Structure formats: structure tokens, C-alpha cells
Amino acid sequence: MTPPVFIVGTGRCGSTLLSNAMRGHPRFASISELFTTATDLGGRIAACFDPGPVTADALATLLLTPPPKQTLMHRAGVSMDEILYRPGGSARFTAAAGVPTILQTTLPHLAGDPGADPASATLAADAVFDEVAQFVRARPPA
């Protein structure tokens, strides 16, 4: 068996291009933009990288609630191109209410093909959100 490969990129290094290219591969999972969205563009760095134990509630807050700065960007219609979730229409979440962190980019990458059809990737991500939320909330402190 081939050992796993872990690829880490920094901002503006081509990581989105790589994630888009590899998205369809059955052995590749991209958590594209997870840290950008979880830290809310730097506003929640301390909460994301707390040196103490992380409880399920703290993890749920980071992953399952709308990040404030990015909610403002959604409302103003100026979200970054890397944000794949399309609020409104038949999507579960709206720009006014905000889009949870894990739904901004990560779940659309894992659940659908936003390059081919952004709306269906949004709906596919919506479909697995509750399952992910249940899993996150059940985690022991780590």
C-alpha cells in the first residue's frame, strides 16, 4: 500500500488550483481553505490554535457556526473566489444568516463538483452538514 501523502500550502501558492485538479480523485481529500475560514481571515486565530484541550463544543463553534467577517462579505456580495458555497436560492443557508465555516469551501469540495455545478455542490454539502455536525459534537476533548 502506498503511504499517505500530506500536502500543505500557504496562501497564494496554487493550493486552490491543486485542490480543484485533484478533487475528483477517489483517494484525495482536500480541506481547502479550512484554516482561512475557521480563523475568519485571522479574527479567530487564538480560538483555532488554543494550546489547551479542545472540547467538542469549541470545535463545533469553530466549524459549525458562521464566521463573522465572512458573513459580512457574503452579505455584501464580495466573498473570495475560493468560497464555493452559494447561499440563497435553494441552499440551506443564506448570506443574511451566514454560512457555517465547514460549508464555506471544505464540504463543497468533498461533497460535490463546484467546478462543474456550484449550485449542486452547495446542495450536496448541505446534505452532509448535519452528519458532520453530529460527528463533531460527539468528539471527546483532544
List, for residues 38-48, the tens digit of each pLDDT value. 999 999 999 99
pLDDT digits (tens, 9 = 90+) for 44-88: 999 999 999 999 999 999 999 999 999 999 999 999 999 999 999
Angle at the Cα of 125 from the Cα atoms of 19 and 86, rounded to 5 degrees: 85
pLDDT digits (tens, 9 = 90+) for 8-44: 887 788 988 888 888 878 888 888 899 999 999 999 9
CA distances in angstroms from 126 to 12, 77, 122, listed in the order given: 28, 20, 6
pTM above 0.85, yes or no: yes
For the stretch 81-139, pLDDT in tens is: 999 999 999 999 999 999 999 999 999 988 888 878 888 889 999 999 999 999 999 99
Return the C-alpha cell found at 8. Answer: 500543505
Tell how far CA 123 is from the center of its chain.
Answer: 14
Task: Give, in order, the Cα–Cα distances in Å from 60 to each of 43, 111, 121, 140.
Answer: 17, 19, 22, 12
